[in-house]
Structure formats: C-alpha cells, structure tokens
Amino acid sequence: MTAKRLQLPGWLDRIRPLAAVLLLVAPLYAVGMIYYAGSPRTTDVGYSPRQPVEYSHLLHAGELGLDCRFCHTTVETAAFVAVPSTAVCMNCHARIAPESEKLLAVQKSFSSGDPIRWVKVHDLPDYVYFDHRAHVGRGVGCVSCHGRVDTMEQVMQVERLSMAWCLECHRNPEPHLRPKQFITTMDWISNEPPAVLGRRLRQQNNIQPSTDCSTCHR
C-alpha cells in the first residue's frame, strides 16, 4: 500500500507570503522599538546635543537671573512648553551684543521668518503623554526634572525619564513639592524639612497622582 499524501487547504498556500513577511518584519519592529526606547533622546542621562545657536543657560538663567517663563511662556498653561521665537530673543539682542557672531543665526531667522531648528533634549517617546501644566500647577519645580539648568552652559538631561522614574514620583511626590511661587527658582531651599513640607503641600493641594497606565499612555 502506498501512503496517502496529506492535502493542505488552499487558503494556507495563499497566506504563506504574508506569514513570511510577518516573520521578517516583527523581529525588526521589536528591535527598532527597543533601540528607540533606549536611545539618548528618551532615557540616557548626560544627553546634551549641540544646538544651532550657542545659547547659554548659565548666563541667562544663572548670572542674569532670567525666569524660565520669560522664554518658556506656556509652561503653566499648556501640556507642551513653548520654545521662544527669535522675536523674543531680539527683544533684548536688538540692543544687547548685536554684533556678536553667536547671534548671526538668530538675526537671520528674525529677518527671514524661518524658525531656528532647536534640538529637543528632554524628548519622550511618542507613546508617552506628559503635561507640564499639571505638574507645574501642583508645585513640582522645574529643577526636579531638568536639574540645575541655571548652571549649564549647554543643557543636558540629568534624569532617567523612564517609566520607573516617573512612577517613583507619582507614588511618593512629597520630596518634589514646593510652594508655587518658587516653581522656577532653581536654588530654592525650604526652611522646613522637605518631608514635612511635602506632606503639608500634598494635603493642602489634594495631590493624588495616578499610577494607572492610561495616565501617560493614551
């Protein structure tokens, strides 16, 4: 007797090319996601890209004492922080150091109307939602996430910006809370123990950070 050959259904032959594509694309997609999630733009402490203009936060925010909100005007009212237009820069630099070579790109942008292509330092993945307004409005100071920007010649990332790091704060926000009038004061130090102040502010402002996935992944 001869063995009977197993007859496969016709639809199986039709999906073979699709299965082959999926087997090839799925691993590449997974590798790409892992690479992107671990790239300096999202998690690496020390990431400090060179900018098209050598803007010194050490000079402007540190020595001159400019408030963060002078340039980043939407930090209290919007989810995303605005980057100042060159018109804002020229409000001062039309008269201050107008001959400086460092201002050439700013002057060119102001004349042409083309924006300066700043490189984002604290760049979260697209699948993460972060609302500056919600954090600043509840008393989380700029320094908690961005570090002592007033001491940086070139801005760098000082915190991990990972999900675990965010959850640590949501579960225990007290160490990061301060009176709202000192939100942008980089060198502010509390007169009372941080734990005591944090508990008081958390109760006073009814701060109950969510740890639900949908809070950040929408």
Q: What pLDDT shows up at residue 44?
A: 83
Residues belonging to the chain = 218
Residues of the chain below pLDDT 50: none
Closest CA relative to residue 186, chosen from 155, 213, 149 = 149
Structure token digits, residue 64:
């001159």
- Nearest partner of 182 among 174, 194, 190, judged by Cα: 190
Question: What per-residue confidence (pLDDT) applies to 3?
Answer: 54
The pLDDT value given to residue 11: 64
d(CA 198, CA 179): 10
How does DSSP assign 1-39, residue by residue? -PPPPP---HHHHHHHHHHHHHHHHHHHHHHHHHHHHTS
Note the pLDDT of residue 23.
77
Asked if residues 98 and 92 have their Cβ atoms less than 8 Å apart, the reply is no
Contacts of 144 (CB under 8 A, 6+ apart): 169, 176
pLDDT of residue 29: 76
Residue type, 14: R
Beta bridge partners of 115: none
d(CA 160, CA 124): 11
The domain spans of the chain are: 76-81+122-215
pLDDT at 39: 61
